[in-house]
Amino acid sequence: MLLVIFIFASQQIMAQKVVVKHSEESELVSVICHLGDIDGYVWDDEDIATPAYFTEVDSVFASYKKHPAVVFAKNKLRNKGFAWSTPMDFAMKFKLERGKVVYRDDVEIDGYYDHITQKNEKKLLKLMRKFYDQSNFHQFYMAHESLYKECEEAMQEVVDSLDVEWYDHFFGKKENNTFRIIPGLLNGPGNYAIHSKTKDGSQCVNAVMGCAGIDENGKIYYGLSFTLPILVHEFNHSYCNPLNEEYWKEMKDAVIAYFEPNADFYRSIAYGNPLYVLNETFVEASMIRYLMSHPLDLNGTNYTMPELIERYIEIDESDKKFTMIRDVIEALDVREQNPVLYPTMHDFMPEYVKTVNRCAKQQRQ
C-alpha cells in the first residue's frame, strides 16, 4: 500500500511540473500584434485553425487598428525585431493586476533586449495601458473564457503524455525549474520558446503553443503525434540555446562559414543568424533523441515510429537546410550511451563542438 501511495505521489509531482494556463497578458499583446500585421500573428487562411476567432478579433477591434499602441508596434518596432517570439517575451514583462497593467522588474527573459530597447519597451507599455482600458479588452477576454479553457484542457491531454523527467536525464538537472505552456490562438501555427528567470532564483521553461486544430465536432484539439514533438522542441530551447551561446566562440567561425552560402534562405524562414540555425539544429536533434526513446501512439496516422522520425529528419535537411542534423543526432547518442563519462550535456559540449566544427567544414567543401 505504501508503494502504491509513493508511486501515485511521484506521478502527481511530475504532473505538477508542467502548468497549462492561458494568459490574458499574452492574448492582449497578440491582439495588438495581429492588428498591427506583425509577423507571427497574421496568417494565410489555410494556416488558421480557428478562423472564427480571427474574424471576431478583426471585427471587435476594427476601430482600434490605428490606436497608438498598434501604430507604434507596426511602424516603429516591427522592423527592429519585434515579431514572432519577442512580443510574447514582452507579455511576460508585465502582469494584469486588478485591471491595471503592472510592469515586472523581477523577470528576466533570455535575449529579450536584443529585439527591443528599454526606451521602446517603456513607451509600448504606456500605450498598451491605454489600449487595454479604451478597448475594453478585459471584457472581450472574459467573453472568450470558455474557449481559452477548451485550449487548456486539450493541451493537457498532450502534457499527460510528456515525460518531463527526460530533461533532467538528457541535459542535466536544473534546480528551481518549472515548465509552463501558454496556449495561443492568434499565433496560429507558430510556437515560441521563452526562458524566464526571477530574482528569487527560480526559472521557468515557457512554451507559447499555437498549433491548435479543430476536430470533427468543432472542438479545439492538439494532435498528439504532431503537437508533442513540437512541445519537446520548444522546451529544448531553454537547454540548448544557453549551451550553444556558452561555447559559441569555439564554433563561431565554422558555423558562420556554413551559414553564409544559404544566408538568404535561412533569413526567409526566420533564422537570419548563424547562431539561430545552430540552435534549431541542436534543438531538433535533441527532439529526435526524445522520440527515439519515447514511441508515440501513431494509431490513425500513416506512419510507423521509425518512418515518423525519418520524416522529421528529412524535413530538417531538405526544407530547412539543417544539414548537420544526422551527425548531431549521432553525437548525442554517444552522450546518452556514456552517462558516466558525460554526466550532463555540459560535460559533453567539447565533443559536440568537435562534431559541429567537423560537419560545418565538410559541408563547405
Quote the cell numbers at residue 243. 549551451
Instruction: Name the one residue in this structure whose C-alpha cell is 518512418.
Output: 307
Alpha-carbon span 36 to 39, nearest angstrom: 9
DSSP state of 327: H
Query: pLDDT at position 16, please?
Result: 44
Beta strands in 243-347, from DSSP E residues, in sequence order: none
If you average pLDDT over every residue of the chain, what do you get? 93
110 sits in the region (left: phi over 0; alpha: psi -120 to 50; else beta) called beta
Residue 192 C-alpha cell reads as 515560441
The answer to pTM > 0.85 is yes
- Cβ within 8 Å of residue 198, ≥6 positions away: 106, 107, 108, 204
Asked if 25 and 93 touch (Cβ cutoff 8 Å), the reply is no
pLDDT value, residue 363:
80
Q: Which residue has the cell 551527425?
A: 327
In 3-state terms the chain splits into helix, strand, coil percentages (rounded to 5) of 60, 10, 30
Residues of the chain above pLDDT 90, percent: 88
Note the pLDDT tens digit of each residue in 105-155: 999 998 899 999 999 999 999 999 999 999 999 999 999 999 999 999 999
- Distance CA(87)–CA(192), nearest Å, equals 10
The separation between the first and the last C-alpha atoms of the chain, rounded to the nearest angstrom, is 63
Q: What are phi and psi of 49, to 5 degrees?
A: -85, -25
Q: Examine the pLDDT at 233 and tell me if it is beyond 70.
A: yes
Q: Of 249, 211, 206, nearest to 349 (Cα)?
A: 249
- Say whether 47 sits in a helix, a strand or coil: helix
* pLDDT band, very low/low/confident/very high, at 176 (cuts 50, 70, 90): confident
Q: Which residues contact 168 (CB under 8 A, 6 or more apart)?
A: 174
| Lookup result for grid cell 569555439 | 250
> Which of the four pLDDT bands, split at 50, 70 and 90, describes residue 1?
very low
pLDDT of residue 175: 83
| Whether the Cβ atoms of residue 101 and residue 94 lie closer than 8 Å to each other | yes
Residues of the chain with pLDDT > 70: what percent? 95
Whether 194 contacts 109, CB under 8 Å: yes
pLDDT band at residue 174 under the 50/70/90 scheme: confident
